């Protein structure tokens, strides 16, 4: 990843952390520090998905591909979301179902293109 995207990602992470902490301070919805961390991880995953969109327009020769970046962002969203869901509902099964469902969908979506090429 080029140096400007690394600095931009650090800046976005700091802005996300500041906004989540500000919302946690202003509302009664987010009351615990682990909720704050879960939301920061989930929202940073959204930023990684946005970076994947930028990467499709500006691919690097030896860098990570846009699809790989998209998968990492989606996994961060699922991890943060399932962690927050576990904190909010204290239902471990529900949060694991969300995480396993996202991982399963990503595995199927990754396997399908390679299966199409083998059939042709």
Q: What is the mean pLDDT of each run of 10 residues along the chain (120 residues)?
A: 76 94 85 90 94 81 80 92 90 90 89 68
Contact 64, 58 (CB under 8 A): no
Contact 84, 35 (CB under 8 A): yes
| Cα–Cα distance for residue pair 100/107, rounded to 1 Å | 10
pTM of the model: 0.82
**Domains in the chain: boundaries:** 3-119
């Amino acid at each position: 990843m080029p140096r400007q995207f690394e600095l931009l990602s650090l800046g976005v992470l700091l802005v996300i952390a500041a906004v989540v902490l500000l919302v946690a301070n202003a509302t009664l919805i987010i009351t615990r520090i682990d909720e704050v961390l879960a939301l920061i991880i989930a929202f940073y995953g959204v930023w990684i998905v946005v970076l994947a969109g930028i990467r499709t327009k500006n691919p690097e020769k030896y860098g990570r591909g846009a699809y790989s970046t998209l998968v990492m962002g989606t996994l961060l969203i699922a991890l943060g979301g399932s962690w927050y869901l576990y904190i909010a509902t204290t239902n471990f099964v529900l949060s694991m179902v969300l995480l396993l469902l996202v991982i399963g969908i990503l595995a199927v979506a990754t396997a399908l293109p390679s299966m199409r090429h083998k059939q042709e």
